[in-house]
Structure formats: structure tokens, C-alpha cells
Amino acid sequence: MTFLAPLLLSLAAFAGVPLLVHLLRRRVTRRVEFPAVRFLMQTEREHSRERTVRNRLLLILRLLAVIALVAAVARPIAAIGGSGHPPLAVAIVLDQSMSTRAVVNGRTVFSGLQDVARDVAGRLSPDDRAWLVTSGGQVVAGSAAELQAAIAGLEPSAGRGDLGGALRRARSLVDAGAPRTPVIAVVSDGQRSAVDTATVIEGVPVVVFAPALAATANRTVQTVALEPARWVPNGRVTATISGADSVAWRVLLGDRTAARGALAASPFEAPLTIDVAAQASDTGWITGRVETDADDFPGDNARVFALLAGAPPAVDVRRSAGAFVEAAVDALVADARLRRAASGARNVVAIAGATDPVDGPAVRLAPDDPLQIVAANRALERAGVPWRFGAALRDTVVVAGAAGEAADPTVAPGGARVTLRYRLTRVALTGVADSGQVLAVAGGTPWMVAGADYVLVASPLSMAATNAPIQASFVPWLRDLVSQRLGDGGVVVDAAPDDTIRLALAADSLEAADGTRRAIDAARVVVPAEQGVYLLRRGARRVGALVVNPELTESDMTAWDDTDWERLVPDAPVVRVSEPNRVADTVYDRAGGRSIAWPLVLLALLALVAEALVARGVFASHASEAASTAAAA
Amino acid sequence: MPAARADLLDPSALAALGRLELVARWVVDGFLTGLHRSPRKGFSVEFAEHRPYQPGDDLRYLDWRIAARADRWVVKQFEEETNTRAMLVLDVSASMRWTGAAGRLTKLQYAEHILGALALLLLRQRDAVGLVRADNELRSVIPPSTRTGQWFRLAAALANAGGGPGSDLVPALAQAAHLARRPGFVVLVSDLLVDPAPVVEQLRTIRARGHEVLVLHVLDPAERDFPEGAEAMFTDPESGMAVPATPGEIRAEYQDTVRHALATWRESLLQVGARYALAMTDEPFGRPLRALVRATGRGGMPIA
């Protein structure tokens, strides 16, 4: 037997009260003169045994009443008969991944899953604790009505979601419901790829409703690739497509169909490839899609993409930037990744020493000579940069990420050694809201900091100060600084719906296809749930595109088998239910006991009634009447 | 004295109105009123037989009815009743000095009033009345007498103190039987909180000597009912014995025990030819007095 409120068992101390009273009665101090004591003695002599039995019976009944009441208050659960259904800590894990959008018999799989989840939630009692955990990361705790309302308000997502994470979360939640019997009810379409293989749920009974996956003639656009990344204005679209039968496909650039065709049937594991040459009809960001004809599983019939049409980002390298920077930019220009332009023109990023006066976005490098620090700081002040160079530090340190971890190679030349650096100090500037962010540190002090239109490096990029210029990551890092962080380089970020990602470029808002914007934190961006292209903006500029497509694994309709479930839940029974109307019964049969609070209350009442009868001597009088009758006979 | 019959009044209220002698007179007067016979007439003579009239006979005794009906002259012969001797034995032990409720007479006070009234009643009939008071020893011994002043001697003795630490009724009964000399009445008034066997045996001896024996068992209602109350150590005022008890728990059994004890006394006394009456100290004096008078046959009523 377990108790839902075990702390209340401390009230059992009150059971000692009858015992105490019983014992204290042995110490009578009041004396009363009574001549007929001989009758009392005779009564004691004749009835002592009967009275002893009665007193002990009274004590037992009083103790029983107190203990039964205390136990009832502590809300006991026992594996014997009782009222209601067993108290459960049940987590309903609802799969809302894209694969549940599949249509079977004119109805989406998700609708059927909702019905099952609602049925399970509808059987909850007030003694239960329950949570709804979705593969999309939503957690709702509450009563039956609250969970049913939450379930009804859900829609299938455009991505894979995280059913494994939902299971792990459910595992910890049901533990919090102890001592109720924990049960996890998984309501899923049973797609094998829904749960990653690393997920293991231990020690909790799991009831799985996973209907057989629909054998749809699925057509899938598996991948889309663009070459080059920046079209000037020509490029190629390469896609892989699979289908159970012949597939008609189209490539759209904006609203224009750039190409169309048909492919023979191909299995999911061996898709066919299309390679389409296309030309951008405009400059700037262009969204496109590769799509097939619709089928019963519409989620993977198209994949979207984004390209930037136009000239490469412009850069103006000043002499003060040093020879290594000059050489790296030459290589990037030769590869058409960058183009040279005079600073001051629109969207031109300058790379210069900090003492150089520069208008517009710039990468500013510390001076080689510490005597130029004053001039450099003066130039920073004029440019509105809220950082100042301090004392020169000549110890040898290694560049690391801002939080001390290994530096992101797209952010800083990670692992580079630094032998000369200046201590960077943040200052408050009147009228400048952007205080900047630390991108990399070296020896515990900021080494590279950035704002909306500047990147400031605490060392000159020369071999006398650092070996960063001879690192393999140096040229890509410089390219990303110019084209993505400060310029309009057209970075494309691929993501899955509902993912949480960190952007390597400075962006402050996300613009949807309909023009609506929402602010974002580049360090932690929650990817929209809907498939599509979302432009990344830094202020008024579009600096990249977030391309959201469902994971390819969502198109793999391979179902879980028993082995998979046994691996997922290694030491507890997994009950697979295929009939929707049997799921709730199976879930509520998992409990190890039932509430016996009311039977205990009844027991306490019976004990009190019996105590009253015994105290009044009802049984004794009946016995004496019976004895008198017998004697008379 | 109020117009109501004193023998039917609440004993404690009545006792509060005056001294024992006075109260006893009221009780006796009320009692005799209830008999519907004049206490001044016919008590000392009883009709015996008729005989033929002889000259010189007192014409007062001529039976005129028979003369008128049968024309026969006969006179009524009366047999003057012999004066009897009654010895009253009163238990004045400590247990008799107890009352179960404030304002209620103690058993001893109740018994004194009953015996006072009985003595007065008997003396008015010119019977000789004596008294023995005893606890663990003889406290008062007054030989039976019909002399003037006997009533006051008895009343004075009844008012004496007693209250010894025990009850020894056997010597008192023996003394009473000895003082009676010729067959008469021995009336024992006690709460009988003693061992029955010696008392019953002594009464058997007294009966064997030709005495009529009447036992008036005086009890306080609390001794019979053992009323509700908190748990306490109940102590015998005579022996000092103490028993812890909770009235509520053993009340029913206690009452059974008392009923059984009373029945035992009644049966034992009947077996030796003694008469037994129970008096509760909250009932009017009239009922136990009537029982005594009926037992002595001195009220013109048959002996019970």
C-alpha cells in the first residue's frame, strides 16, 4: 500500500491519544467514599475478565478508528478492491510530427491520434496527475478538461519534432507524480524515425498506440541544392526525388515555373536526380521550390529554397589591414566570392586598421604599434564604436569562443595563438544603443567584438601578433565577416520546423513571406513551425535567408517494430495497442492499486459505531439477557 | 404539622421540620389516619366467642342483633390481647452514616425515624419496646418496657452517636433476643453490608427461640443504582478497602450484583422464617413503616 499524501501519516500520532487515555486511567487519584464497595469488588471479581476484554476491545476500536481515518486522509492506494480507477501519473505523449499529416480514408492520421489522446485524457480522475507532452515540445499539465482542450487545439507540425525528447520529458514528469503509478501513453503514427535511437526510457510502463502506417504511394522531394550560392544571374537547381510511381515535378523561381518534367518510379532509398539550369529574373533574394504532384502525404511533396541573385559582396581593403588580409581578399575576389569597391559606396565593407577613418561597415584591426592606441581610440570614438583599446598584453594565449568554449570557425579563427593583443574595454556612448557583443576571447579578455556595423579585433592580423593569418579557417572567416556579418553576402541557413538554432550572422528579425516580421535573438532562434523561406534582417537590410523544410526522415514511412520498442523501454513492459478504443482501458489497467480512502473512512465509522455500542454495553446486556434466559430455562 | 399525611412526605423534607420525636409522632398519626380505624378503640381487645346470657352479665356485652334476630340472649366474650415485647436492633456503623446525595437523609437518619415511629406506634398499643444500637460493639441497650417515659428514652438513645469502624450485628441480635425473654418481635434495621452467614445463623437461633424476626434493609439509592460519574477510587468507610472503577463502565454489572445480593438476603431470611423488607432512603417513611406494622401484626392487619 502506498499513500498519495504520506506526510499526513504523521497524524497517526493521534492514535496514541486513546492509548494514553487508556494508560492514564490506571492512575486514579480521585477518592470517593462508598459503603457498598463490597458490591463493587464482587462486580469486579465476577466481571473483571469481561471488562478487560471490553476495555481492550474499546482500545482496539478507538485505535482502529484513528488509524483508519489518518490512513484515509493520506489517500492510500492498495492493490485490493476500492473505488474509482487507480490513481495514475500519466503522461500522454502525442506525436504531431509532419508524418501525421498523412491522409487515410479521407482523414488525417493526426485527427485519429487526437481522438485517442482525448479518450485517454477523458478518463482522468481528480486523484490522477496528467500531462500532455507533444513532439513539438509543448507540455500541458491539468485536469481532464484542460488536457482535452489542449489536445483539440493542436495541429500537426511541418517537421519531425522531437518525440524522443517528449518521451524523456514525460519520463521525468511521471516520476514527479509519485507515488501514483507512472504510465506513459504514446500516441503516435509509429514512424520509426520519430524517436532517435539514443532515447531510452527506463522503469516506466509504456502503452503505445501506433496504428499501422498507411501504405501511401508517397512522392518525396528529398533534397534541393543550388550552384552557385549567389546567382549572377545564372545558376543550377539540383534535386533528388523519389516516388512509388511516376512523378511529375516542377521547379519554381518565385511565381515562375523554371522547369518541369516527370520521373520514373524510384524507391525512397534510391531517389532520382534532376539538374535544372535556370536564370534569375531579378536581383536580390528569390524564393523557389521544387515540388511534385500532391499525394496522401502532402508534407514532403515540395522543398523550398532561397537564392541571392546579383553581384558578390563588395569589400575595400586598406593598406593598414596588412598583407595577409590583402592576399586573402585577392583569393576571394578571384573566386568571385567578393568584389572590390571603394568604401563609402552602398553595401561596401571596409577592412582597415583602427586608426584609419572609415565610413560604413568595417572590420577594424588593432594597430601594430602600441603608440597608435590613442589615435585608434580617437577614430573609434568618431565612428561611434563603444569599445576602446587598453594596455598591450604580450603573453601567448589562444583564441576561444565568447563563453570560453572552442571558437566557432565561422565567427573567429579558433585555435589561433595570440602574442600581442590590447585589452578591450566597453564604454558607454551617448546616443549609441548598440553596446556590441563579444565574439571571441583570448586570455580571458575580449579579442573580437562586434556591433551592427563593425567588427573590432584586439590584435593586428600580422605574424608579429598572431598566427591567425596562417590558419586554414582564416580566409573563410574573413569571407564570412565581409559577406555575412557586415555585408549582404546572402547566407542561407537551412533548418527544420520547430528547431532551435544559433545564427552565425548578426540578424535581429525574421521576415515571413507575407512581410510580417518578428524579432529574434541570433544566439537562439526558434525556427518557425511552417515550411517556407524566412528572410533574416539586420535593421533595414536583408542579410540572409532561413530556409525551413521538414526533415527527410519524416518521409521515411518505416514503422517501429517490437525490437525498437524493447530497446526504447528496456526494463518495463511495452504494451502496444492497435485498436483506438482500447488504449484508455490499457492505460488505466497499468496501475498497481486503487484508492481505498473511502473504504477506510467506512471502516473508521464502523469502528466508532462498534465502540459506541461496546461502551454502552449493548453486547454485554445482550449477553447477560441471553445468560438470564438460559438460567431461567 | 401540615395537613398532608406525614408518612407519605419526602423523608428528608419531613426530617428537616423537627426533632425525631416530633417527626415520629407526625408519621404515626399520618400512618394511623391511613388505616381508617381509630387508634383509641378496640386495639386491646378481640372478639372471642358467644355464651348464653347469665344474670349479672354486663348488658354492654349483650349481642342485641342476635337477640333481635333469633330471640336468643347471648353475650359477646372478648379476649384481651396479650402485650407483646418488641426489640429494635439498629445498625449504627459508619456505613449507615452515608448518603449518596446532598440533602438526602443518611441511612442512619432514615432508620432512626422509622424506628422512632414504630416504637411510638407500639408503645401507644401498650406493647413493650426495647432498643439495641450497635456497630462493631453495643452502643445502646434499652430493655423492653411499656412504662411512661420509655418513648423518650428510646428517642434519646436513637439520637446518640455511633459510627464505629465496623458492623457486628450478631452480638446485638443476641442481646436483643436475650432481653425479649419471652417470644416477641426482633426488628433489625441495617444496610446489611456484612457477611450474611453469621447474621442469618443468629436470626435462625432467634427464630428457634420463638421470636418473630423482621429485617428492614435500608439502602441509599446510589448504592443500588451506582449513578454516572467520573472514574474514581471508591473507598469503604468502614474497612478502608478501595476499588478503582468508572461507573459508566460497570454500572449495569454493579446493579446486577446488587440485585443478586438483595435476592440472596431475601431468600436466606425467608429460609430461616424471618421477614424481609427493603427501604430506600428517598422514599416516604410510610411504606417501610407499613411493612413493619404488618409484620408485627400490631396494626389490625394480617402479618405479611
Task: Quick: pLDDT tens for A193-237.
Answer: 777 666 677 778 888 888 766 566 788 999 999 888 778 788 899
Grid look-up 492520421 returns: A109
Contact partners, residue A592, CB within 8 Å, separation at least 6:
A77, A79, A86, A181
Average model confidence (pLDDT) for chain B? 80
Closest CA to A227 of A278, A265, A187: A278
Write down the pLDDT at residue B17: 64
pLDDT digits (tens, 9 = 90+) for A327-380: 999 999 998 888 888 876 777 899 999 998 888 889 999 999 999 999 999 999
Question: Is pLDDT of B71 > 70?
Answer: yes
- Which residue of B243, B259, B260 is the best one to mutate when testing the A interface, meaning the one whose CB has the most A CBs within 10 A? B243
CA distance A41 to A99: 89
- Output the pLDDT for position A54: 80
The yes-or-no verdict on residue A18 having pLDDT over 80 is: no
| Higher local confidence (pLDDT), A539 or A196 | A539
- Residue A526 cell numbers, joined: 526558434
- Provide the shortest C-alpha distance from residue A132 to chain B (in Å): 60
Q: Residue B107's closest chain A neighbor by CA?
A: A35
Q: Is residue A155 scored above 80 in pLDDT?
A: yes
If residue A439 lies in a helix (H) or strand (E), which one and from where to where? Answer: strand A437-442
Q: Which residue of A has its CA nearest to B258?
A: A39
> How does pLDDT run across A245-258, given as a tens digit for each residue?
888 999 999 889 99
Q: What is the pLDDT of residue B302?
A: 30
Shortest distance between the Cα of A618 and any Cα of chain B, in A, equals 10
Minimum-distance CB partner of A36 among B193, B232, B242: B193
Quote the pLDDT of residue B188.
Answer: 93
How many Å lie between the alpha carbon of B300 and the closest alpha carbon of chain A? 37
Query: Using CA atoms, how far apart are residues B45 and A503, in angstroms rounded to an integer?
Result: 142
Predicted pLDDT at A16: 74
Contact B235 A34 (CB under 8 A): yes
Contact A289, A303 (CB under 8 A): yes
A63: closest CA of chain B, how far (Å) = 19
User: How many whole angstroms separate alpha carbon B134 and alpha carbon B150?
Assistant: 19
Rounded Cα–Cα distance for residues A213 and A578 (Å): 11
**B257 closest CB neighbour out of A46, A51, A617:** A46
Count of CB atoms situated within 10 Å of the CB of A397? 18
A-B CB pairs within 8 A amount to 96
Is the CB of B137 inside 8 Å of chain A's CB atoms? no
The Cα angle at residue A214 between residues A209 and A220, in degrees rounded to 5: 125
CB-count burial class (<10 Å; 0-12, 13-18, 19+) for B222: buried
Determine, for residues A35 and B249 on separate chains, whether the beta-carbon distance falls below 8 Å. Answer: no
Q: For A300-329, what is the mean pLDDT?
A: 90
Read off the pLDDT of residues A558-591 as tens digits, 9 standing for 90 and up. Answer: 777 777 777 777 766 677 888 888 888 888 776 5
List, for residues A456-508, the tens digit of each pLDDT value: 999 999 988 999 898 888 888 888 888 777 776 678 889 988 888 888 777 88
Q: Is B243 in Cβ contact with A44 (below 8 Å)?
A: yes
Across the interface, whether the CB atoms of B257 and A39 are under 8 A apart is answered yes
Distance from A50 to chain B by nearest Cα, in Å? 10
The answer to whether residue B239 neighbours chain A at the CB level (below 8 Å) is yes
Q: What mean pLDDT is predicted for residues A300-321?
A: 89
Q: Report the residue of A23, A25, A28 to disrupt the B interface, i.e. the one with the largest count of B CBs within 10 Å.
A: A28
Q: Which of A26, A27, A190 is nearest to A102 (CA)?
A: A190
For B96, the closest chain A residue by CA position comes to A35
- In chain B, residues with a C-beta closer than 8 Å to the C-beta of A621 are 252
The secondary structure element, H or E, covering residue A273 is strand A272-279
| B98 in contact with A, Cβ within 8 Å | yes
- The CA distance from A628 to A620, in Å, is 12
Q: What percent of chain A clears pLDDT 70, i.e. is strictly above it?
A: 87
Q: What is the pLDDT of residues A87-135, one digit of tens each?
A: 788 899 999 888 888 888 788 889 999 999 999 998 888 878 899 999 8
* pLDDT confidence bin for A633, thresholds 50/70/90: very low
Residues B147-150: contacts with CB under 8 Å, at least 24 apart: B150/B123
The per-residue pLDDT for A374 is: 93
Mutate to test the interface with A, among B98, B135, B228, B253 (most CBs of A within 10 A): B253
- What is the DSSP code (8-state) at residue A595? E
Q: What is the pLDDT of residue A412?
A: 63
- The two beta strands, A491-495 and A500-501, are unpaired
B223–A contact, CB cutoff 8 A: yes
Of residues A223 and A85, more confidence is placed in A223
Percentages of chain A per state (helix, strand, coil), in multiples of 5? 30, 30, 35
In chain B the first and final C-alpha atoms are separated, in Å, by 31
pLDDT digits (tens, 9 = 90+) for A499-533: 888 887 778 899 998 889 999 988 889 898 888 99
Q: Is the pLDDT of residue B1 over 50?
A: no
- A478 and A331 in contact (C-beta within 8 Å)? no
A158-162, A398-402, B39-43, B55-59: the lowest-pLDDT one = B39-43
A59 CB burial (10 A radius; 0-12, 13-18, 19+): middle
Look at residue A81 and tell me whether its pLDDT is greater than 60: no
Mutate which: B195, B257, B260, B280, vs A, most A CBs within 10 A: B257
Q: What is the mean pLDDT of residues B79-90?
A: 73
- Would the CB atoms of B243 and A51 count as touching at under 8 Å? no
